[in-house]
């Protein structure tokens, strides 16, 4: 077993950037916008990667993509994930994002979504190792910032090739690798495997980050011990619980579990998060983006189902603010009154 104090002292270095710890927020479409990235960094994430940006230049002028390129006020280093299957287009996308403030470029070869894989992007690329090499060579050669890579263990259980992909990445000049412990065929089902991540770590000298099913501080420690990787990447477990980074960081440093945030802290954090969303997206879109976060924050709380029903019908930020303050006074009765 790795000494707790040693895990707690570990950081990850990517190019010129020495992260404050070895905890990374995973890129998630529709989730890891600038307000959420900054919140997770404030609460302990050493790095937070943006939502996926398409390599298709025709989409760069869209409002959605322009928001994904907005890093104003974000704590460094600013990491942007790009996705595509054409080496020259990926190189152009990398240059475009660096020109717009990206300090790290992350390449998506891990997304299992059909709409991405049908374009031969995301995890579909794992089936063509020669193309993987051409894309990585093209992107690394196009920019003067560190390039990182996100993969899965392979296309399916008969085609686990993560070790070969990792070696291709290292040879191309990729400076860190994140691996989700499932194949593309697994989606998010079953339990994330650790043996492939361990094999990847043993095969390369660049930092390796393990991803998948890291929902608690204890699980984070267990994954680090089992795989010997350099850090962990947390995705779905941070939805509605950005404090998980603070809790994991504390546990790795001290071996003790922090108490859960108080209702007052949850409410204060949530209110600030919602205000950041309203400011970032504007009233109409901000209200709609806020709904999913409010649903996540309220899960497991008394009256949460009633709150979610009410907040999902709210049409204005003022109405959402009222519902938040009523619900997070800790009273189940207050939550029930929301739809009365």
Residues 321 and 245 grouped into a single domain: no
Both 20 and 83 in a single domain?
A: yes
In the structure encoding, which two tokens stand for residue 89, read together? 């287009």
111 given a catalytic annotation: yes
Dig out the tokens for 287 from the structure.
């209200």
Regarding whether 232 and 281 lie in a shared domain, the answer is: no
Same domain for 212 and 299? no
Among 254, 285, 316, the domain boundary falls at 254
What's the rounded Cα separation, in Å, for the pair 57 and 91?
Answer: 11
Residue 87 has, within 13 A of its CA and on its CB side, a CA count of 14
CB 320 within 8 A of CB 297: no
Q: Verify that 175 and 284 share a domain, yes or no.
A: no
Please check whether residues 210 and 90 belong to one and the same domain. yes
Is the same domain home to 170 and 88? yes
> How many folded domains does the chain comprise?
2
Q: Which of 203, 234, 254 is the last residue of a domain?
A: 254
Phi, psi angle pair for 149, to nearest 5°: -140, 140
pLDDT tens-place values along the chain, 340 residues long: 455 556 556 778 999 999 999 999 999 988 999 999 999 999 999 999 999 888 887 777 777 778 877 888 899 999 999 999 999 999 999 999 999 999 999 999 977 665 554 455 677 888 899 999 999 999 999 999 999 999 988 877 778 899 999 999 999 999 999 999 887 767 777 777 889 999 999 999 999 999 999 999 999 999 999 999 999 999 999 999 999 999 999 999 999 999 999 988 999 999 999 999 999 999 999 999 999 999 999 998 889 999 999 999 999 999 999 999 889 875 445 444 544 4
The CATH number covering residue 290 comes to 1.10.1200
Residue 215 and residue 91 in one domain? yes
Q: Where in the sequence is the domain holding 134, given as residue range(s)? A: 4-254
List helix spans (H) across 232-328. 244-254, 263-281, 283-298, 304-313, 317-327
Whether residues 314 and 296 share a domain: the answer is: yes
Torsion angles phi and psi, residue 110, rounded to 5: -130, -10
CATH number at residue 96: 3.20.20.70
Q: Which of 194, 219, 254 is the last residue of a domain?
A: 254
Q: Are strands 104-109 and 13-14 parallel, antiparallel or unpaired?
A: unpaired
For residue 80, with 0-12 CB atoms within 10 Å meaning exposed, 13-18 middle and 19 or more buried, which class applies?
A: buried
- Regarding whether 282 and 250 lie in a shared domain, the answer is no
Token representation of residue 160: 């686990």
Catalytic residue among 111, 117, 186, 194: 111
Do 289 and 174 fall within a single domain?
Answer: no
Instruction: Answer for the pair 153, 196: CB distance below 8 angstroms, yes or no.
Output: yes
43 and 76, same structural domain? yes
């Amino acid at each position: 077993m790795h000494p707790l104090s040693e895990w707690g002292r570990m950081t990850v270095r990517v190019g010129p950037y020495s992260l404050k710890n070895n905890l990374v927020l995973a890129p998630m479409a529709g989730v890891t916008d600038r307000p959420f990235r900054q919140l997770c960094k404030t609460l302990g994430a050493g790095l937070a990667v943006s939502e996926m940006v398409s390599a298709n230049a025709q989409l760069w002028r869209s409002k959605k993509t322009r928001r994904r390129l907005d890093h104003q006020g974000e704590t460094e280093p600013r990491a942007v994930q790009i996705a595509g299957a054409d080496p020259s287009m990926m190189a152009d996308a990398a240059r475009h994002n660096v020109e717009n403030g990206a300090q790290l470029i992350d390449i998506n070869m891990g997304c299992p979504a059909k709409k991405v894989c049908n374009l031969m992007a995301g995890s579909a690329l794992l089936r063509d190792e020669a193309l993987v090499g051409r894309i990585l060579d093209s992107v690394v050669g196009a920019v003067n910032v560190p390039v990182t890579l996100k993969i899965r263990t392979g296309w399916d259980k008969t085609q686990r090739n993560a070790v070969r992909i990792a070696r291709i990445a290292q040879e191309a000049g990729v400076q860190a690798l994140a691996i989700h412990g499932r194949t593309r065929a697994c989606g998010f089902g079953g339990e994330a495997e650790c043996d492939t991540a361990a094999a990847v770590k043993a095969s390369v000298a660049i930092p390796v980050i393990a991803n998948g099913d890291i929902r608690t501080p204890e699980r984070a420690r267990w994954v680090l011990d089992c795989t010997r990787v350099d850090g962990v990447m947390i995705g779905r477990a941070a939805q509605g619980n950005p404090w998980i980074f603070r809790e994991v960081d504390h546990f790795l440093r001290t071996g003790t579990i922090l108490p859960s945030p108080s209702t007052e802290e949850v409410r204060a954090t949530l209110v600030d998060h919602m205000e950041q969303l309203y400011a970032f997206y504007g009233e109409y879109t901000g209200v709609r983006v806020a709904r999913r976060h409010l649903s996540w924050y309220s899960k497991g709380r008394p009256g949460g189902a009633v709150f979610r029903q009410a907040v999902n019908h709210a049409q204005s930020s003022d109405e959402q603010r009222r519902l938040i303050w009523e619900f997070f006074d800790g009273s189940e009765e207050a939550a029930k009154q929301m739809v009365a």
